[in-house]
Amino acid sequence: MHSRYSWKSYFVVLSDYQQWANDRLFAALGGINREFLQSPQGLFFGSIHHTVDHIMLVNRLWLARLQGEALKVNFQEIAYPDWNQLIEATQCQAEELKLWLDASEPDWFDGRLDFVSSDGTARSMWMRDVLTHMMNHQAHHRGQISAVITRLGGEAPEMDYFYYKREMDGYMEIIRDDQSLSKEAQNPADPDLAE
């Protein structure tokens, strides 16, 4: 019998999925000529680099709001001009979100977030709606970048949630097998009872 997913479990898993998908995107981008990362590619933020920077900044902005802090960001400027530093900052930001969500009380996920938007408007949203927006926002921009990778002759990374779950379930099966073997080694069967 399967237990119900709580909102907390759901969003912790989704935040882990974001890191997994980012890893695949960054690996695929490693095969693209570096000059294409910086050049205009017809994306909303122009270049691949600026789009990844935007993903990272939006996550940083929303995490600050979730933590009750006000943060001003400028989406028109690139916060991390160095590509490798941007990758590291993006993955650190994703890890920080995951750890913060994991440390949050389950009841927090049923609450509301009151915040001031970038245009100065006071707003209020359910926490689960904010988190759903954060997760979908990243997937939206990764999809745009994936299309550019294909157009540039690269191989688009497989980033579907289904593949993430299948990979994680495979890891869990290995862990369960290892634990079973470990328990058997600690508690060997009575040799006198063996046939």
Using the 8-state DSSP alphabet, how is residue 43 labeled? B
pLDDT grade, residue 170 (50/70/90)?
Answer: confident
pLDDT grade, residue 177 (50/70/90)?
Answer: low
Average pLDDT of the residues of the chain: 90
pLDDT tens profile 123-168: 999 999 999 999 999 999 999 999 999 999 999 899 999 999 999 9
